[in-house]
Amino acid sequence: MNNQFQVLSDTEVISVEEADQIVVSHTTFKAGEFLELLQRDYLYSDETEGWLNQGISCGVLSPSKGWRKGKVKISLAFCPDEVESPLDDIRQQISEKGDRD
């Protein structure tokens, strides 16, 4: 695993094992559905709405960067088990072309 997480868009679909279900009552759901239910059922208040939507103003202290002002928000992120290669798309296209010939 490469530990490089990518933030998921609201329309991306997630499938989890039944034992790992939280918030959503089914094992396949959109990222936006998860965040919406999390907000509605667990986090919703005037104070926490910003954490899931537009973000809240904050400062972040990073090594060698010092304090930076910006916003922070809760999101879902994905880290693939296998490293994705830019050549994967080309290989897929070649494979599909070979199947058609």
pLDDT greater than 80 at residue 52: no
3-state secondary structure of 71: strand
Written as six digits, the tokens of 36 are 């919406």
* Contacts with 30 (C-beta within 8 Å, 6 or more apart), sequence order: 10, 11, 12, 13, 14
The tally of domains found in the chain comes to 1
Query: Would 38 be classed as within a structural domain?
Result: yes
Query: Would 1 be classed as within a structural domain?
Result: no
Question: Which band of pLDDT confidence, cut at 50, 70 and 90, is reported for residue 57?
Answer: confident
* Contacts with 54 (C-beta within 8 Å, 6 or more apart), sequence order: 71, 73
Helix (H) or strand (E) holding 67: strand 66-72
Q: Residue 69's pLDDT is what?
A: 92
Query: Would 23 be classed as within a structural domain?
Result: yes
Query: Would 24 be classed as within a structural domain?
Result: yes
Query: Would 31 be classed as within a structural domain?
Result: yes
The residue segments making up the domain with residue 95 are 6-100
Q: Tell me the whole-structure pTM to 2 decimals.
A: 0.62
Query: Would 77 be classed as within a structural domain?
Result: yes
